[in-house]
A and B are shown apart, each in its own frame.
Chain A
Amino acid sequence: MRYNLILAAVVAFVVLAAGSVVLPDWAMFLFAMALAKGLVCLGIVGMMRGGVVSFGQGLYYCLGAYTATLVANNFGVSDIFLLTLLSAAVCLLVGMAFGPLLSNYRGIFFAMLSLALSMVLYGSLSKMSFIGGTDGLNIAAPTFLGWAPEGRALQTALYIYVVAIVVIAGTLMRVYFDSERGLITLATRDNELRVEYLGASVRNVMTYNYVFGAVLGGIGGTIAALALGHVDPEFAFWTTSGEFVFVAILAGFLSVPSVFVAAIILELVRSFSNLYFPNTWQLALGIFLLVVIIVLPNGLGSLVKRRKGKAA
C-alpha cells in the first residue's frame, strides 16, 4: 500500500511536471492557479470526510496571501520557500485558535461560523486603507533560494513548485486519510455517537481536520498571491470560499487527485466560457455545475471508486 502510494506520487509528479514542457504559457499559469486553489479545496475535502463543510476557507487563503504580501513588502523577503513557511505558520496558529471552537459545531452552524470568520477578515481588510483597502496590494515575483527567474522561467519555476507541493500535500493527506484518525473522520460522517462510544474524540478529530485545512489554505493562498502578483480582500470574500466548496463537491471526498482534476476542470470551463460567451459566462458555468451535481452527486472521485468497487 505504502509502496503503491509512493509510486503513484512519483508518477503524478513526473506527469504533472511534464506539463511545464508541453503546456503553452497561458495554460501553465492556469494550471498553477488551479493547483494552488486545489490545495485549499483539499483542506475542505478533509473536513467533508467528517461530514462538515467549511464555507470560509477564504479566511486562510486570504490570510496566507496577505501574510506573504505584507512580509514581502515590508521586510523585503522574496524567497518563496520562506514566504510559504511563514504563511503556513500563521495559518496554523489561527487554525489552532479557531479549530477547537468550530469543532463543536456541525452542519449549517459549522458552515456559517466559518463563513462569518472569513467575512470578518474581508471586512477588516476592506477598511484598512493603509494596506490598500478594497484595491489590495501588489507583491513582486518570488525568488527561489536566491535565484530570480523571469518570463517563462519564472512561470515554470512557480509551476514546478506548486506541483511539488501538491504532490507532497496530496500524499500526506492520503496517508492521513488512511490513518486511524482519518478513518475515524470517515466513521464520524456515518455516526458520530457510535464513534464517541468507541472511545474516540470526535472533537479532537474535527480540530485536526480544521487545522490541516487552515495550513493547506494558507499555502494555497501564498502561491496564488505570488503567481498573481496581487492580493485584495476578495480573497476572503464568500464567493471565493464558495468556489472552493464547489470544487470540493465536484471532486467528492473519496479521492485526493480528483480534487486537483476538479480544480483544473473548473478553471478551464470558466476560462473558455468567458471567452466564448462573454455576456453569459456565469450561466454557462452554472449549467456546468448543475449538470455535474445531477450526474455525479458524489463527485468525480466516485467515478473511480465505482469502477474499482471498493471503499477507500
Chain B
Amino acid sequence: MMKSKIGGALAATALATCMAGPATAADDTFKIGVITFLSGQAAESFGVPAWNGGKLLVDMLNEGGKLPAPYDKMGFGGMKIEAVIVDEAGGATKQVQEFRNLVQREEVDAVVGYVSSGDCLAIPPVADELKAFTILYDCGTPRVFEDGSYEYVFRTAAHATMDNVSLARYLKSRSFDVPSFAGLNQDYAWGQDSWADFTGAMKQLYPDAEVKTALFPKFGAGQYGTEISALLREKPALVHSSNWGGDLQGFLIQATARGLHKRAQLALAAGDHVIPQLQDKMPDGIFLGARGVNGLAAHARGGELKELTDTMWDAYEVEYNTFPVQAPFRMWQALFGLKTAVEKAMADNGGTKPTSEELAAAMKGLSWDAPSGRIEMALAGGHQAIQPNAIGTTKWNADAGEMELVDVEYYAARCVNPPEGMKSQDWLAQGFPGAECD
C-alpha cells in the first residue's frame, strides 16, 4: 500500500520537475513578476485598474518613444519588458509560495506587487532570503519598514499616515470648523490604523474637537443602516472614513439616501476610486483624497509633470473608456521607478542587465518623476518613498457629465510624511516635528 503511494509521490515529483524548466529570460528581456488582485474584494477597485495601467505602460515602453523624456527610451534600458501576472487573492501563505515560484521557477528579474498590507509584511523577509529585488507598489501599512529593515525590498508609494495627515491639514487650511467628529472604518488593520492616524493628526490640529463615536463595521459588511443611524443621532460635524471598494460604495449610497452628507461633512481618506462606478450618485462637497496626487487631482495639477500625466491619462482613457483612479497611478510610479533604477544601474555597470544587488544599490535613495509627482525614496534608509499628496472637494459637472475635484490643495511630500528615522505614530504624537510645509 505504502509503496504504490510512494510511486504516486514520485510521479508527482517527476511531473513537477519536468514542468519546472521554463526558458530563462534572455539578456535582451527584463522579466517582471506582477502580483495584484485579479479576483475578490480588492480586484475591481485596486488590482484590475492597477494592472490595466501597468499593461498599458509596459506596452508603451516596449514600443518606445511614446512617453516624454526621460522615459522615451525603449523598455528598461533597451531591454524588452516581459510580465508574469499572479493573482494576489488567497492570503499571505499562498503569496509567499507564489513569490518563491516567481523568483525560483519563473526566474523573474524583479517583482512588483501587493495591495494587501498582510502580504506586504509577509513577503519582505522572503525577498531578502532569496535576494530578489522587490517593489511593493500599493499597500499602506507603515509597519513594513518601521518594524523591519530589508536589503532588497522597496516601497515606491507613501505609506498610509500621509492620507490622514493631509485630510486634517485640509480641514485646517480651509478653516473648517470641527467641534466634533466621528469615524466609520472597516474593522481590520487598515481601518483601525487609518482611524488612529486621523485622530492622532486631529489631536494636534484640532485639540478641542470632540470624538463622538468610532464605528468599525465588519470588512465587506455592505449594510451600514445601523452605523448611519448612530452617526445621524450623534450629529458629528465631520465623518471620517477610510473605507474603500464595495464597502465605500455601499456606505455612500446608503448614507446619501438618508441625508448624512447634508448633516455632516464626509471626509474620505481613499475615496477617489469609486467615482467611476458611482458617477453622479457620488454626492457633491465630499472632501476626498486619493492616497497621493493621483487620479483627478493629478489631472488638475498641471505644472512640469503635466505632459507625462496627460500622456498616461489620455492613453488610459482611450484604452479603457474610464479615467485612471489611484491604483494605476501607483503602478505607474512603481514601474517608472523600476525603469529609472534599471537604467541607473546599467549606466554604472557598463550597460549589462543589472543583478539584484546592483538594482538595490541603484534604487536606494533614488528619486524620479511619475504622473503622481516627484517620488523620493527618503525614508527607511532609502527604501520607503514619500510623495506629495492632494485633497479636494467633489463637484458634479452636469454639462460634461463627469465628476470634478475642486478646491484642491496640494501638500509637499515633507509636509505630510514623517521625517527619516521617525515612526509615524511618534511623529503624530509629537506634533509633526520636522514637517516642511510652505
Contact = CB atoms under 8 A, between A and B. Distances in A.
Interface of A: 5, 8-9, 11-12, 15-16, 19, 22-27, 29-31, 33, 126-127, 129, 132-138, 140-141, 150-151, 154, 224, 228-230, 232, 234-235, 237, 239-240, 255-258, 260-261, 264-265, 267-268, 270-272, 274-275, 278-279, 281-282, 300, 304-305, 307-308
A229 B121 CA distance: 10
Contacts of B15: 268
A304 B6 CA distance: 12
Contact of A134 (B5, B105, B118, B122): B118
A29 B17 contact: no
A239 B10 CA distance: 29
Interface in B189-211: 189, 192
Contacts of B161: none
B263 interface: no
Given A9-B2, A260-B9, 6 more contacts: A8-B2, A27-B13, A31-B13, A138-B148, A234-B91, A300-B8
Contacts of A15: 6, 9-10
B125 A138 contact: yes
Contact of A26 (B105, B121, B219): B105
B12 A135 contact: no
Contacts of A261: 5, 8-9, 12
B106 to A, nearest CB: 8
A100 to B, nearest CB: 31
Interface stretch (B70-78, B79-87, B311-319, B381-389): B79-87
A165 B17 CA distance: 24
B398 interface: no
Interface stretch (B95-103, B273-281, B336-344): B95-103
Interface string B111-130: 00000011001100110010
B92 A228 contact: yes
B4 A304 contact: yes
Contact of B87 (A25, A138, A279): A279
A274 B87 contact: yes
Identify the 7 closest CB pairs spanning chains A and B, nearest first: A257-B5, A230-B122, A8-B2, A26-B104, A134-B188, A133-B189, A135-B189
B3 interface: yes
Given A133-B189, A138-B122, A255 B16 contact: no
B122 A257 contact: no
Given A16-B9, A135-B118, A29 B148 contact: no
Contacts of A308: 1
B101 A255 contact: no
Contacts of A257: 1-2, 5-6, 8-9
Contact of B86 (A22, A229, A268, A278): A278
A133 B117 CA distance: 11
A24 B121 contact: no
B172 interface: no
Contacts of B241: none
Contacts of A129: 189, 192
Interface secondary structure of B, over-half rule: helix
A27 B96 contact: no
B97 A30 contact: yes
Contact of B101 (A135, A229, A275): A275
Contacts of A278: 38, 85-87
A271 B97 contact: yes
B39 A279 contact: yes
A232 B87 contact: no
A264 B20 contact: no
Contacts of B185: none
Nearest to A227: B96
B6 A279 contact: no
Given A11-B2, A22-B17, A133-B189, A228 B12 contact: no
A255 to B, nearest CB: 6
A5 B89 CA distance: 41
Contacts of B6: 11-12, 15, 257
A223 B291 CA distance: 38
A25 B100 contact: yes
17 contacts: A15-B6, A15-B9, A24-B17, A27-B16, A27-B20, A30-B97, A33-B93, A134-B189, A140-B125, A150-B129, A229-B126, A232-B91, A237-B91, A257-B2, A257-B9, A278-B85, A279-B39
Contact of A258 (B5, B85, B86, B187): B5
Nearest to B117: A135
B122 A132 contact: no
Contacts of B9: 15-16, 257, 260-261, 264
A26 B4 contact: no
Q: Which interface residue of A22, A27, A126, A264 has the most chain B CB atoms within 10 A?
A: A27
B121 A230 contact: yes
B5 A136 contact: no
Nearest to A134: B188
Given A24-B17, A261-B8, A304 B97 contact: no
Contacts of A141: 129
A300 to B, nearest CB: 8
B17 A27 contact: yes
Contacts of B121: 132, 135-138, 230
A268 B121 CA distance: 25
